[in-house]
């Protein structure tokens, strides 16, 4: 699955330009014009990286960054602060609040894209790796092939995307709603129990004989890729 990037920027032209260039690089992109709008998006799905404007209507980017760093689910989410404030004191303040990087407007789009890629690579190598390996399961993103203990596993497109998404963050529990939004997409309207059907198909395909089931069902919550299996 493509890394999900959230743009929090009230300048419509800049937000549109960033979305266009990020989507051209293959990223999944969401955009918000204010802190309140960003909070709504993040309730549905925590992004893999946030591009955050300092000066926003209502809550400032600095205050949003501070709040997100105090929440367990967003404490480690990479944040790049975007601002016209280029003074050293302001850069230090932004980084001290919890931003991982800082760019001054106007900035070079190719440079920003390079910073995004580098930060994603450092924060979660699984997001940019060409292949994912966990235990005896290997997933090749270039060929879209999956194997277990050297045996090729035949998956449908949805089961492949589901496995890829779960393998990116072993141990993280995803609700059915989050999986629907990330694997099926926001514009697809299907019942949440559809996730159960496809998880069942995925389990049937990858679990043969006495193979350990790497997909953990969390009662009342959803599913996760077993972290113990991934580190075995």
Q: What is the pLDDT of residues 83-136, one digit of tens each?
A: 887 667 777 777 788 889 988 888 899 999 999 988 888 887 666 677 888 888
User: Whole-angstrom Cα distance, residue 64 to residue 183?
Assistant: 28
DSSP secondary structure letters along 111-134: HHHHHHHHHHHHH-HHHH-SEEEE
Could you tell me the pLDDT band of residue 173, with boundaries at 50, 70 and 90? Answer: confident
Residues recorded for the chain = 232
pLDDT on residue 59: 81
Residues 172, 153 contacting (CB under 8 angstroms): no
- Better-scored residue on pLDDT, 97 or 22: 22
Contacts of 190 (CB under 8 A, 6+ apart): 180, 184
Element (H, E) at 32: strand 28-32
Q: Distance between terminal CA atoms of the chain?
A: 24
Could you tell me the pLDDT band of residue 150, with boundaries at 50, 70 and 90? Answer: confident
* Six token digits for residue 116: 């995004």
The whole model's pTM is what? 0.62
User: Whole-angstrom Cα distance, residue 148 to residue 133?
Assistant: 10
Answer yes or no: CATH 3.40.640.10 is held by domain 4-125: no
- Give percent of the chain above pLDDT 90: 27
Residue range(s) occupied by CATH 1.10.10.10 in the chain: 131-231
Task: List beta partners, residue 223.
Answer: 174, 217
- Backbone φ, ψ for residue 146 (5° rounding): -125, 140
Report the top-level CATH class of 131-231. Answer: mainly alpha
Letter string b/e over residues 9-29, b meaning 16 or more CB atoms within 10 A of that residue's CB: bbeeebbeebbebbeeeebbb
* Six token digits for residue 169: 């963050």
User: Whole-angstrom Cα distance, residue 9 to residue 204?
Assistant: 44
* Six token digits for residue 25: 């690089």
User: Whole-angstrom Cα distance, residue 26 to residue 32?
Assistant: 19
- Backbone φ, ψ for residue 69 (5° rounding): -70, -15
């Amino acid at each position: 699955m493509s890394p999900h990037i959230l743009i929090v920027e009230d300048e419509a032209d800049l937000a549109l330009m960033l979305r266009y260039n990020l989507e051209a690089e293959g990223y999944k992109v969401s955009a918000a014009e204010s802190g309140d709008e960003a909070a709504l998006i993040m309730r549905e799905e925590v992004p893999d990286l946030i591009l955050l404007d300092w000066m926003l209507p209502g809550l400032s980017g600095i205050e949003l960054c501070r709040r997100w760093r105090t929440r367990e689910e967003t404490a480690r989410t990479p944040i790049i602060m975007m601002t016209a404030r280029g003074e050293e004191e302001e850069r230090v303040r932004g980084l001290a609040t919890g931003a991982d990087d800082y760019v001054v407007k106007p900035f070079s789009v190719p440079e920003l894209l390079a910073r995004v890629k580098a930060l994603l690579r450092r924060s979660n190598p699984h997001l940019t790796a060409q292949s994912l390996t966990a235990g005896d399961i290997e997933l090749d993103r270039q060929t879209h092939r999956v194997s277990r203990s050297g045996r090729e596993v035949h998956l449908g497109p949805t089961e492949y995307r589901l496995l890829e998404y779960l393998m990116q963050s072993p141990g993280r529990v995803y609700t059915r709603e989050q999986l629907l939004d990330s694997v099926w997409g926001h514009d697809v309207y299907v019942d949440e129990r559809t996730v159960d059907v496809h998880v069942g198909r995925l389990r049937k395909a990858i679990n043969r004989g006495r193979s350990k089931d790497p997909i953990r069902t969390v009662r009342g919550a959803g599913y996760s890729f077993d972290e113990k299996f991934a580190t075995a």
